[in-house]
């Protein structure tokens, strides 16, 4: 029913993912930014075409049908009963991070992150006047874990007001367990730390690893949590500026809404509204097909690397469509590894060091592309590694 093997020439669409930013990226296979190459579901396309055929594109409200689509999805897919009134809209999860800092943290106060993690975490914290604190994840037998002793120690600092959680985690692919989430939440409750949970990849989970919204653990935890979601990753809609920010605590929600209004981000565009409604209402079958295809891509990557590039290590993937690869055994520094990837392997990946110093020697591969492209990228890397000996 769905064909994810075909390839669209995304350069002619000016896609950021496919457009080289400097000469070293020419002729490279682009598997870097978290943007799927798959065409969106026909139900979303049809809904957009139907609306765009009406030539009036003025300011548009998010009506009950919008909020019912959002809350219905969270109930059906994730067994989380979200009320309409808890949902605020933003033009994406990145600005949602900034609004969290602005609404909670005073200049000089602190926010904690868990690197290696999405680079915009640190950027939005620091650009909005807060001090950055890190609680690095621990890599144990090919799987990342939270360092709870370090987390608890740093949470005791009265200047720490906010913790940024990523679930599922980008780039390491962990889907945090109920025990992990409860332990983290208990520490935050004990120390009056608010949780901002970036759950934008929440619809991509594999095997026996359910996504659990940390706010769903209990009423008490929900009262200290801001949950950031969006259909953009789920349905290959990255160019639409959309975010649904779920906050049960009324006082926290009001303060957050003030931050949104302070920069004039008070509405979504009509395309984002229509795509959200259509995706959450009709896109579930398409998403299931995508997840099955991604599972096969992941299996291909694991088996190919184990058989033909054993010096490269894969990290167990529980969620996201982003594969975290360990190249440290090649013995290169970050600059050398980046140059090798672009000039020798001719594969354009996200550089691990951009996710924090803890990512040095790693790369992130976006596996949401056709299988033939993934196969070719693996073969190129294998040839480039053999050329080193």
Count Cβ neighbours within 10 Å for each residue of 56-92 and write b for 16 or more, e otherwise.
eeeebebeeebbebbbebbeebbebebeeebbbbbbb
What integer pLDDT is reported at residue 18 of this predicted model? 87
> Which token pair is 95?
């600005």
Write down the domain spans for the chain: 10-41+284-386, 57-282
Give the whole-angstrom CA distance, residue 322 versus residue 193.
Answer: 29
Going residue by residue through the chain, which has 389 residues, state the pLDDT in tens, using 9 for 90 and above: 788 998 778 888 888 898 888 899 999 999 999 999 999 999 999 999 999 999 999 999 999 999 999 999 999 999 999 999 999 999 999 999 999 999 999 999 999 999 999 999 999 999 999 999 999 999 999 999 999 999 999 999 999 999 999 999 999 999 999 999 999 999 999 999 999 999 999 999 998 989 999 999 999 999 999 999 999 999 999 999 999 999 999 999 999 999 999 999 989 999 999 999 999 999 999 999 999 999 999 999 999 999 999 999 999 999 999 999 999 999 999 999 999 999 999 999 999 999 999 999 999 999 999 999 999 999 999 999 999 97
Give the whole-angstrom CA distance, residue 112 versus residue 93.
Answer: 17
Upper half-sphere CA count for residue 337 (Cβ side, 13 Å)? 22
**E strand spans, the chain:** 29-30, 87-90, 110-113, 131-134, 138-140, 143-145, 160-166, 194-198, 225-229, 243-246, 313-314, 322-326, 347-348, 350-351, 362-366
Q: Locate tokens 């929440």: which residue?
A: 202
What integer pLDDT is reported at residue 377 of this predicted model? 98
- Please give the CATH number for the structural domain made up of 10-41+284-386: 3.90.1150.10
Q: First vs last Cα of the chain: how many Å apart? A: 45
> Which token pair is 9?
């020439």
What integer pLDDT is reported at residue 1 of this predicted model? 75
What integer pLDDT is reported at residue 209 of this predicted model? 86
**DSSP state for residue 343 in the 8-state scheme:** I
Give the whole-angstrom CA distance, residue 7 versus residue 38.
Answer: 8
What integer pLDDT is reported at residue 143 of this predicted model? 95
What's the CA angle centered on 140, arms 134 and 144, to 5 degrees?
50
What integer pLDDT is reported at residue 103 of this predicted model? 98
Coil, helix or strand at residue 221? helix
What integer pLDDT is reported at residue 129 of this predicted model? 95
Coil, helix or strand at residue 354? helix
Arch. (CATH architecture) of 57-282 = 3-Layer(aba) Sandwich (3.40)
The residue among 159, 34, 162, 32 whose CA lies nearest residue 97 is 162
**Which strands form 110-113's sheet, in the order they lie side by side?**
87-90, 243-246, 225-229, 194-198, 160-166, 110-113, 131-134
């Amino acid at each position: 029913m769905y064909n994810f093997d075909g390839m669209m020439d995304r350069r002619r669409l000016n896609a950021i993912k496919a457009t080289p930013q400097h000469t070293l990226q020419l002729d490279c296979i682009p598997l870097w930014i978290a943007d799927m190459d798959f065409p969106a579901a026909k139900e979303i396309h049809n809904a957009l075409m139907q609306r765009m055929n009406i030539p009036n594109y003025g300011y548009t409200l998010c009506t009950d049908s919008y909020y019912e689509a959002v809350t219905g999805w969270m109930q059906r897919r994730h067994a989380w009963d979200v009320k309409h009134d808890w949902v605020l809209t933003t033009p994406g999860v990145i600005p949602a991070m900034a609004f969290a800092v602005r609404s909670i943290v005073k200049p000089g106060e602190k926010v904690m992150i868990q690197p290696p993690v999405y680079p915009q975490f640190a950027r939005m914290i620091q650009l909005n006047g807060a001090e950055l604190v890190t609680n690095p994840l621990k890599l144990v037998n090919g799987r990342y874990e939270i360092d709870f002793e370090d987390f608890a120690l740093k949470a005791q600092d009265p200047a720490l007001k906010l913790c940024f959680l990523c679930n599922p985690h980008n780039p390491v692919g962990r889907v945090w367990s109920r025990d992990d989430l409860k332990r983290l939440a208990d520490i935050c409750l004990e120390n009056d730390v608010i949780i901002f949970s970036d759950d934008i990849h929440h619809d991509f989970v594999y095997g026996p690893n359910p996504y659990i919204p940390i706010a769903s653990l209990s009423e008490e935890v929900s009262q200290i949590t801001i949950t950031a979601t969006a259909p953009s990753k789920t349905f290959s809609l990255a160019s639409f500026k959309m975010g649904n920010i779920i906050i049960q605590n009324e006082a926290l929600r009001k303060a957050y809404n003030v931050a949104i209004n302070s920069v004039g981000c008070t509405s979504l565009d009509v395309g984002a509204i229509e795509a959200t409604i259509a995706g959450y209402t009709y896109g579930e079958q398409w998403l299931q097909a995508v997840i099955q295809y991604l599972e096969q891509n992941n299996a291909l990557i694991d088996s190919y690397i184990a058989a033909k590039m054993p010096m490269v290590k894969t990290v167990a993937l529980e969620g996201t469509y982003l594969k975290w690869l360990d190249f440290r055994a090649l013995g290169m520094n970050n600059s050398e590894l980046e140059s090798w990837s672009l000039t020798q392997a001719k594969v354009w990946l996200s550089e691990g060091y951009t996710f924090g110093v803890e990512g040095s020697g790693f790369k992130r591969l976006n596996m949401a592309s056709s299988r033939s492209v993934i196969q070719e990228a693996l073969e190129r890397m294998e040839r480039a590694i053999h050329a080193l000996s």
